[in-house]
Structure 1
Amino acid sequence: MPAGDSAGQEASRQLALAAAHDKAASAARAAASRYGLASVTEQRTAAALAPLAGAGYHLLADRQWPGSRRAQVDMVVVGPAGVFVVDTKAWADVTIAGDRIHRGQEDVTDELMALADLAYRTEGELAEVGLAPGEVHAMAVLAGRTGVDERVGPVQVVGERDALRQIARRGARLGPAQVDVVLARCLEWFRHVGDAAPISTTLLEPVLPAPRAPQPGTPHPADDRERDHGGVHHGFPDPRVPRGVTTPVPPVPPLSEEEVRSALLTGLMAAPVEEWMAFLHPAQARVVRRSYNGPARIRGSAGTGKTVVGLHRAAYLARTRQGKVLVTTYIRTLPDVLRQQLTRLAPDVVDRVELAGVHETAKRILEERGVEHRIDGRKIASAWTAAWGRVAGGSVIDTDRHEQDYWHDEVSYVIKGRGLTRWEQYAELPRLGRRHRLGPHQRRVVWELYEAYQEELANRGVHDFADQIALAEAELRREPMTGRYTAVVVDEAQDLTCVMIRMLHALVGDVPDGLTLIGDGQQTIYPGGFTLAEAGVSVAGRGTVLDVNYRNTREILQFASMLVRDDEFADIEGTTARGDRPAQVERSGPKPVYVRCATEADRQRRLVLRVHEVVAEVGTNFGDVGVLSLSRRGVEAATESLRKAGVPVVNLEQYDGVPVNRVKVGTVKRAKGLEFKQVLVVDPYASWLTEKPEELDDVDRERRDFRLRELYVAMTRARDGLWVASI
């Protein structure tokens, strides 16, 4: 080895070692800066949120990130407003646009998505104790900022001074007992942080290149150093400005006592939500979050919370999918009620959930596509009357066994509702749910009545509501709709027709979680049964049964179930069923009251007395009472009697879900999907309750089945008390 080479090599090794130490020191200084800054900013966030502790909140600071050995969660807030997973960001020069967040030129959205993922996993953990998914929030706090209220995907981004207000303004969504249950689970899920990160002072020996003989003209290393800018060696950071060190975030003034009081008072003054909006049974919470790889069905008997689950599921899908979610049902007035509930349940996604009746949806499709259609009730009735006179009057179907309404239903629900267009289809059709058997001659007359009715509608330039659905379904087959809806949730699916299901299915197809059908075949009160296979929909392996009754008392459910204990119905999945029975009923209460009245006048008098009697009870007002009838005539009679007695009344036709201290009066059909503390059923006849099915022919048996199902639906709207009056 030439003289001096060994010393030169050692010098190079020492320089490399020094450089490695410099680099490690720089990294350590940067880490110290970040940890120090994080410590300061996290302490400031904790101080900003500290007043919540006096309002029933629990602040869990410096918790272990579940599934990670080292990562930490700055703070988890558990209280009346729900659960907030809080991460403080000491970021300057932040811009938010198009669902992305940038720190200077760097896109840091993925950092917030990690927080979103943690909130999502926390949802699943807390669903096991019944917390609704929408009550878990991911919150990023920008240190040193104020007046920030943005969203990046599912993460709420707020300023340091805004965090307290954002949490408090959600109001009381959980009661003290519920907070305790959630807190206990959070303490298990977010454990205490372990030991601090280790400090290492041992560096690996630097690897040096093999020594090479200097080549002629190669400058001395010292010459390279002489040419470096400012005398700083290329490839190493300036020790005066350590790389990765974050400039301290300037503090913002803390909230004043008045601002704190104002924020907390806003939360206290917010109207509390009903318990079901924030807390579910664990089985319900799991169904809300469950993912299906195609169309799915959720069923269960009355009172098992199907509509509640459907509304929560719509909100959940809106949070976790791109595009809008459609919630629809056959009952025209129910979407208005659900819209009011969703506004309180999930204000963060209410603009991404569309609530509309199935006919309203069909109408919008036709209008957007420029398809002419006209609905005119008087002309529709005139067309039916003319068709009946032309074909059916005096025929084999014009008997005293069935009124015209029966045959109108046959045409509207069985023929048009199942999309039949040829006589051959109807001639051999299994008329699911229709006990009255029709011979070939009767069927032929019915088909001719259908054809005559269609001609009369065309002559008047109108369509009926079944035509409206058929036109929309045909339009979607001609040109599928893409991108508008990410999911469709159908409540009371058993009331829809085959063509309605086909139309709604066409909006989303068979994509995962696209179509959710919710309902109970036992509560079918419309004719024209069909199977999902007939509609081109399969839910095989994607069904869930809810089997815990949360609404009714044991006494109410037992009384109502007696009406349908022998009822068999054709289920939409193609089986003959007897109805689901809940495995568990959560509540008990007084026995239902059944009174036999001497006359109709006597029934109306007792009705008024019963209303005054139940509103005299603690915790019950006029708005908690529902008076239900099987007929419009019964609604009119009850309304008149109550108004004469000075009782405030609102018809369910005009009820939009906004709380109002008035007795709600309406038909059973309009009450589907609703519930009341007290229900009064006002127009059954005693003979309906005593008929023996085995003594009836198929005509009377069919009539009895539908009538008792309606009564069952009416009675199971009752939460605490049921009163039934017959004559």
Structure 2
Amino acid sequence: MTIAGESAGVEARRQRGRASELRRQADEAEQRAGRFEIAHRTEAETARTLAPLAGIGYHLLADRRWPGSAHANVDMIVVGRSGVWIVDTKAWREVAVDNGRITRGQEDVTDDVARLADLAWDTEKVLTDVGLAPGEVHAVVALAGKKGVSAHVASVDVVGTHDLIKHITRPRARLSPERVDKALAAVLSYFPVMDGAAASTQQVIVPQTVLAREPEPQPALIDQGELDQGELDQYLLDGILEAPIEEWMASLDPAQAKLVRRNFNGPARIRGAAGTGKTVVGLHRAAYLARSTGGRILFTTYIRTLPAVLESLLKRLAPEMVGRVDFVNVHAFATRLLKERGIAFRTPGREAQLAFTDAWNAVSASSPLKATRFTRRYWEEEISHVIKGRGLTRFDEYADLARVGRKHRLTGDDRQAVWDLYEAYSAGLRERGGCDWEDVILLARDALREVPLDRYDAVIVDEAQDLSCAMVSLLHSLVGDRSDGLTLIGDGQQTIYPGGYTLGEVGISLAGRGVVLDVNHRNTAEILDFAKQMVADDQFVDIEGVDGVGDSVSAVTRSGPEPGIHRFTRRDEHDAAMLVRVEEVLRLVGTGRGDVGILTATNPQADKVMALLADAGVPTVSLKDYAGKSSDLIRVGTIKRAKGLEFKQVLLPQVPAKLLADPPTTESESAKERRELDRRELYVAMTRARDGLWVGAR
């Protein structure tokens, strides 16, 4: 039976339910409107804060669409000499950062921040095509009304809105104007204008301010702070200063930028002629791998002083990765490992020299080792680079060895004599309780074979051609054949140490994972042509086991004055001419003392150059002490220490005239090998020069 009024009651309840739902929706809409109003005000504040950047050449893009989304937007994108900055403004209260997480009140908002990190990562991939290096795209959460905030969450910088200009201009000028234009065009394409946005937002908001000249009245934001005008002026001034020469590595061409991010399914090699940017790529790749793996990266090389320079450069390029990339030369790495493992050894000293002297003096005058075509140095190098550099322990291993890199063929009797010398030297070392650096490497290699070290996600080796077999084996054992684990960087043409090795001896297969860089961005065409004369007829076996004459260069991007050889018969004339040259280059626009390198063959020669400049009132710094930091001091040091560096102007004093002349018509194989090594060293020195090269010969 139907109860009277039941249908009316049902309808009444339905309408009340509907009214309740509408009120709920209205409340939610009101709350959303309030949030949008806050967002409008905070985003407008951010835009006003950043507007002064337009006056120093930065481009500001406001309210762009989040790629792949129909409705989400990006508050602000800034493109300029310091990189690309994706800025998201948040009116968050009670913000705290702890152990890599960020909260607002009781709510964990780390995932919101991580989305911005993903956007920066995707943007970085897109900008690779225009040659923007990884790490030049920055994600920033700007806390509205805040000042003095500095935190890092999920690779996103968290700063106050009043810290933004300082934060954006802090890296200073890193990108060329041409690179900025290309990055801007790519950003405009990748971040389309929001539907319904004003037509004026479809282009870059520069040089006009982002906001109307008479902004609407706004309530005060949380923790409002004033940006001191003096501070603002200083930040803007810093933002337009030209970067010192140490920051040239921030620039990559598109091919290099893609290579930085390339994935290899095993050990890989990057090679190319001098000036093609191998070390640049390696440095950026270290930062990229540290960021993408979340682990630690080892960047190592043979030269003792180069790691400090590269670490200093990383602080400019990717400061957030400092501490995640270990820069250490291979001998220092081996030493640290032995100390960590508690393995006893004695730091190499004079014991090795004394032990070899005794062993050498015991060699009879009739020995083939004392033939006039050889020198004591030749056999020292044979033992250190060929025998101990491979860790050979039996004569039969040496008897059949190919001796990569050595020109003179040895008979069976010759090799037996060398082995006898090696054993006498080893016995002398043991008697003195000492060891040499080759022993340190072998001890570390054997320690890792016994107990592996699971510390690094990747190892990058610069100037790999200068390492020994044992060194490469040591480093390979840290990562094995894992994907992107081992990257070897180098150029066989720049080998300046005797002997050598092939990757096959170490058990490393590249299997097509070799890349050649062939565009020279460093040298002028004139400097490169001049330097190539030093190695024009050079034949060598590359670490991949292939006979070669060096990689060719497909293009040179710069031109300049012709270098020249200045010949002198007297030392005082040579030194006076060198001082005149120093004065000349320091008068060039854009060249300071810190842009000049004077490179010598030996340390005593470098000491004499520094003394000469000191007497002339010219301040210098030794490459022994140079750590990649800008200063107004001429750099002086050996060619070996200059590997991996560059200078606007290079002076090469006291070059032996015979090295610049044609080779003798009759020359022993051992003498030919030494001459080629010395000329390769000159080639390395000459190709350190960007703009000018002076060679003083006697």
- Whether TM-score is above 0.5 comes out as yes
Secondary structure of the corresponding residue to residue 319 of structure 2:
coil
| Residue of structure 1 in register with 2:231 after alignment | 262
CA RMSD of aligned residues (A): 2.7
Match status 1:407 vs 2:379: yes
Distance 1:12 1:662 in 2: 87
Task: Give 2:270's aligned amino acid.
Answer: I
How far apart are the structure 1 equivalents of 2:416 and 2:8?
112
The answer to which of 282-291 and 47-56 deviates more is 47-56
| 1:184-583 map, 5 Å | 184-195=185-196, 251-252=221-222, 254-256=224-226, 259-269=228-238, 272-274=242-244, 276-391=248-363, 394-482=366-454, 484-583=455-554
SS class of match (1:485): coil
One-letter code aligned to 1:343: K
Q: Mean Cα displacement is larger for which, 136-145 or 613-622? A: 613-622
> Quick one: distance in 2 between partners of 1:502 and 1:456?
27
Q: Is the 8 A contact 2:307 2:327 kept in 1?
A: yes
Distance 1:405 1:124 in 2: 51
**TM-score normalised by the chain length of structure 2:** 0.90
Residue 130 of structure 1 is matched in structure 2 by 131
Correspondence for 1:117: 118
Q: Report how far residue 281 of structure 1 moved.
A: 1.6
Q: 1:134 to 1:693 in 2, by over 3 A?
A: farther
Q: After the TM superposition, which of the residue ranges 379-388 and 700-709 deviates more from structure 2? A: 700-709
Cα shift at 1:647 = 4.0
Instruction: Select 2:652's aligned residue among 674, 681, 687.
Output: 681
SS at match of 1:678: strand
Whether the 8 Å contact between 1:168 and 1:264 is mirrored in structure 2 is no
Provide the rounded CA distance (Å) in 1 between the counterparts of 2:635 and 2:321.
29
Once the two structures are superposed, what CA deviation does each residue of 1:241-299 show, in whole Å capped at 9, x if it has no partner?
A: xxxxxxx997136543x614413413524764346243322222222222323322111
- 1:594 correspondence with 2:595: no
625-634 or 377-386, which moves further after superposition? Answer: 625-634
Residues 1:414 and 1:266: Cα distance change in structure 2 (over 3 Å): same
Instruction: Identify if the C-alpha distance between structure 1 residues 678 and 49 changes in structure 2 by more than 3 Å, giving closer, same or farther.
Output: closer
Counterpart in the other structure of 2:585? 614
Partner of 1:604: 575
Q: Which residue identity does 2:243 align to in structure 1?
A: V
Structure 2 alignment gaps of length 5 or more: 198-217
> Which whole-Å CA distance do the structure 2 matches of 1:579 and 1:337 have between them?
27
Partner SS, residue 683 of structure 1:
strand
**Are the equivalent residues in 1 in contact too, given 2:169–2:238 (CA < 8 A)?**
no
Aligned match of 1:81: 82
Tell me which amino acid in the other structure corresponds to 1:318.
A
Q: Distance in 2 between matches of 1:485 and 1:644?
A: 48
Contact 1:567 1:705 in 2 (8 A): yes
Measured after TM superposition, the shift of residue 88 of structure 1 is 1.9
Aligned residues of 1:595 and 1:726 also touching (Cα < 8 A): yes
Residues 432 and 570 of structure 1 are in contact (CA less than 8 Å); yes or no, is this contact kept in structure 2? yes
Confirm or deny: 8 A CA contact 1:433 1:527 kept in the other structure: yes
Query: How far apart, CA to CA, are the structure 1 residues paired with 2:146 and 2:681?
Result: 58
CA distance in 2, matches of 1:347, 1:716: 29
Structure 1 residues not aligned, in runs of 5+: 197-247
The answer on 1:66 being equivalent to 2:67 is yes
1:234 alignment partner in structure 2: none
Q: 1:141 to 1:638 in 2, by over 3 A?
A: closer
Answer yes or no: is the 8 Å Cα contact 2:266–2:481 preserved in 1: yes
CA displacement 1:632-690 (0-9 Å, x = unmatched): 45435544544454444433233333334343332221211111222222333343333
After alignment, is 557-566 or 178-187 more displaced?
178-187
Q: 538-547 vs 670-679, which deviates more? A: 538-547
Q: Which moved more, 1:639-648 or 1:346-355?
A: 639-648
Q: Distance in 2 between matches of 1:147 and 1:568?
A: 60
TM-aligned CA deviation for residue 118 of structure 1:
0.8
| 3-state secondary structure, aligned to 1:371 | coil
SS in 2 for 1:545: strand
Given that residues 171 and 266 in structure 1 are in contact (C-alpha distance below 8 angstroms), is that contact kept between their aligned partners in structure 2? no
CA distance in 1, matches of 2:372, 2:193: 78
Letter in 2 for 1:377: G
Structure 2 counterparts to residues 171-190 of structure 1, below 5 A:
171-174=172-175, 176-190=177-191
Between structure 1 and structure 2, the one with the greater Rg is: 1
In 2, Cα distance between equivalents of 1:660 and 1:62: 42
- Larger mean Cα displacement after TM superposition, 637-646 or 306-315: 637-646
CA deviation profile, 1:541-561 (whole Å, cap 9, x unmatched): 322221111111111111111
Q: Distance in 2 between matches of 1:661 and 1:722?
A: 20
Shift of 1:613: 3.2
Determine if contact 1:55/1:264 at 8 Å carries over to the other structure: no
- Between the aligned partners of 1:252 and 1:166, the Cα distance in structure 2 is 21
Which residue number corresponds to residue 662 of structure 2? 691
Offset at residue 351 of structure 1 (A): 2.8
The alpha carbon displacement at 1:487 in A equals: 2.4
Give the equivalent residue in structure 2 for 1:98: 99
Query: Offset of 1:602 from its aligned partner?
Result: 4.0
Q: Distance in 1 between matches of 2:175 and 2:224?
A: 28
State the distance in 2 between where 1:9 and 1:662 align: 91
In the alignment, the residues of structure 2 paired with residue 162 and residue 633 of structure 1 have an alpha-carbon distance, to the nearest angstrom, of 50
Query: 8 Å contact 2:300–2:461 — kept in the other structure?
Result: yes
Q: What do the CA deviations read for 1:143-179 (whole angstroms, capped 9, x no partner)?
A: 3544421111201112343334332444343455544
How many angstroms apart in 2 are the aligned matches of 1:654 and 1:34? Answer: 56
CA separation in 1, counterparts of 2:406 and 2:462?
23
Are residues 408 and 168 of structure 1, via their aligned partners in 2, closer, same or farther at CA, if it must alter by over 3 Å?
Answer: same
After TM superposition, the structure 1 stretch with the greater mean CA deviation from structure 2, 687-696 or 700-709, is 687-696
Change beyond 3 A, Cα 1:640–1:485: same
Q: What is the CA distance between 1:614 and its match in structure 2? A: 2.9
Per-residue deviation, 1:425 = 1.0
Contact 2:407-2:669 at 8 Å conserved across structures: yes
In 2 relative to 1, CA 574–176 (structure 1 residues): closer, same or farther, beyond 3 Å?
closer
Partner deviation per Cα, 1:337-372 (whole Å, 9 max, x = no partner): 223322333333223222211111111111111111
Change (3 A) 1:51 1:691: closer
Q: How far did residue 410 of structure 1 move?
A: 0.7
Deviates more, 1:492-501 or 1:33-42: 33-42
Between Structure 1 and Structure 2, how many residues are aligned? 674
**Identity of matched residues, %:** 53
